[in-house]
Amino acid sequence: MQRIVVLAGGVGGARFLRGLRAAVPEAEITVIGNTGDDIHLFGLKVCPDLDTVMYTLGGGIHPEQGWGRAEESFTVSEELAAYGVGPGWFSLGDRDLATHVVRTQMLTAGYPLSAVTEALCARWNPGVRLLPMTDDRVETHVLIDTTDLPEDQRGEGEPGRRAIHFQEYWVRLRASVPAHAVVPVGAEHSKPAPGVLEAIAEADVILFPPSNPVVSVGTILAVPGLREAIADAGVPVVGLSPIVGDAPVHGMADKVLAAIGVEATASAVARHYGSGLLDGWLVDEVDAGSVGDVETAGIRCRAVPLMMRDLDATTEMARAALELAAEVDA
Ligand code: FO1
């Protein structure tokens, strides 16, 4: 029984996981999910990346969006707006709200996030073990400069540098202004959730899917002890580039890569992770020219199709990643 550990963020990670599960249905897959995107709204705790994995693999995801539920309605949101209770820019559907009510109820009763996630997954049966990276509160904030915003979007307060919640940067601002810093608030005091270090220690292979290297995989690696556990696991660690050509496949990874001074190219991301962490790296065929550059950095590299256009494509990507893992293991 092959044991695979995957560090996953949101949409990109979840789509890759569908392919991985199809490629090796008999494998035991443990997903370490990013919780830095979590946000508290209307008294509820929302965990976007955990929910995207759970809904995508459980069959409840809104397929085009890659987040939220299919067949959604927004009656509660409309009523909240009628009361003037915001924010209106983060749309929570009625079905999705039930997940956040159950989660918040269990957290309030004293269950850790890992137990809550296990309980929610008992309904969805994602076919993988989904662990939050930590049970402690971590929320990514982005440092922007309000003077980069149009006048009418600056809000109150002195113009200048301001830290805003990642979701406000991502959803309300659509990453339309430079991110001067990306800070996973609370990460330095967090510890890996129960089962995380054990899963890494027992893994036969560890995969970094095409998730955002800064706010998804980067945030998971910011939990003290996680990066070292992966580096010292002594098993192949293979990643798939989230950047194809010079643009992110999904989302706006280039905006947050700039914040940490990493250029938005497949080879720059590989070098950012480093050969201390990565043994292998898959780039898309359009980036075949960068294979030599990545190999010079001490990371085995191959060029394969990386556009996640459908399940067959992601299944092939997963197969290619596992083949590269076997190659570096030899
Ligand atoms: N993304 C949006 O672009 N607009 C939204 O209104 C929105 C709502 C939302 C609600 C629940 C949820 O789990 C995710 C939601 N997302 C929305 C996506 C979310 O911002 C991203 O999935 C991650 O945070 C980034 O991977």
Please determine, for residue 8, whether its predicted confidence score (pLDDT) is greater than 70: yes
Going 77 to 90 to 217 to 162, the CA torsion angle's sign is: negative
- Convert 85-110 to b/e letters by CB count within 10 Å (16 or more is b): eebeebebbebbbebbeebbebbeee
Q: Which CATH number fits domain 3-134+188-329: 3.50.50.60, 3.40.50.10680, 3.10.129.10, 3.30.200.20?
A: 3.40.50.10680
**Taking the complete model, does pTM exceed 0.95, yes or no?**
yes
Give the pLDDT of residue 253. Answer: 85
Q: What is the dihedral of CA 130, 131, 135, 136, to 10 degrees?
A: -100
The tens digit of pLDDT for each residue in 162-216 reads 999 999 999 999 999 999 999 999 999 999 999 999 999 999 999 999 999 999 9
Mutate to test the pocket of ligand 1, among 171, 212, 214, 219 (most ligand atoms within 8 A of CB): 171
Where is 300: in which H helix or E strand?
strand 300-303
C-alpha closest to that of 68 among 88, 40, 103, 96:
96
Rounded Cα distance, 188 and 198, in Å: 20
Helix 94-108 vs helix 113-124: angle between axes, to the nearest 10 degrees?
140
What does the DSSP assignment read for 167-197? HIIIIISTT-S--SEEEEETGGG--BPTTHH
C-alpha closest to that of 100 among 25, 48, 158:
48
> Ligand 1 in contact with 169 (CB < 6 A)?
no
Distance 77 CA to ligand 1 centre (A): 15
| Residue 292: Cβ-neighbour burial (10 angstroms; 0-12, 13-18, 19+) | exposed
Rounded Cα distance, 316 and 330, in Å: 21
Rounded Cα distance, 233 and 122, in Å: 29
Please determine, for residue 157, whether its predicted confidence score (pLDDT) is greater than 90: no
Give the pLDDT of residue 247. Answer: 75
> Ligand 1 in contact with 52 (CB < 6 A)?
yes
Give the residue with greater pLDDT, 251 vs 19. Answer: 19
> Ligand 1 in contact with 68 (CB < 6 A)?
yes
Domain ranges of the chain: 3-134+188-329
> Ligand 1 in contact with 92 (CB < 6 A)?
yes
- If you compute the radius of gyration of the chain from its CA atoms, what whole number of angstroms results? 19
Mutate to test the pocket of ligand 1, among 16, 67, 92, 171 (most ligand atoms within 8 A of CB): 67
The tens digit of pLDDT for each residue in 67-107 reads 999 999 999 999 999 999 999 999 999 999 999 999 999 99
For ligand 1, atom 14: residue with the closest CA: 48
> Ligand 1 in contact with 170 (CB < 6 A)?
yes
Give the pLDDT of residue 172. Answer: 94
For residue 211, which atom of ligand 1 is closest to its CA? Answer: 26
Give the pLDDT of residue 250. Answer: 67
The tens digit of pLDDT for each residue in 302-317 reads 999 999 999 999 999 9
For residue 89, which atom of ligand 1 is closest to its CA? Answer: 6
Cα angle: 70, vertex 73, 75; to 5 degrees = 160
> Ligand 1 in contact with 37 (CB < 6 A)?
yes
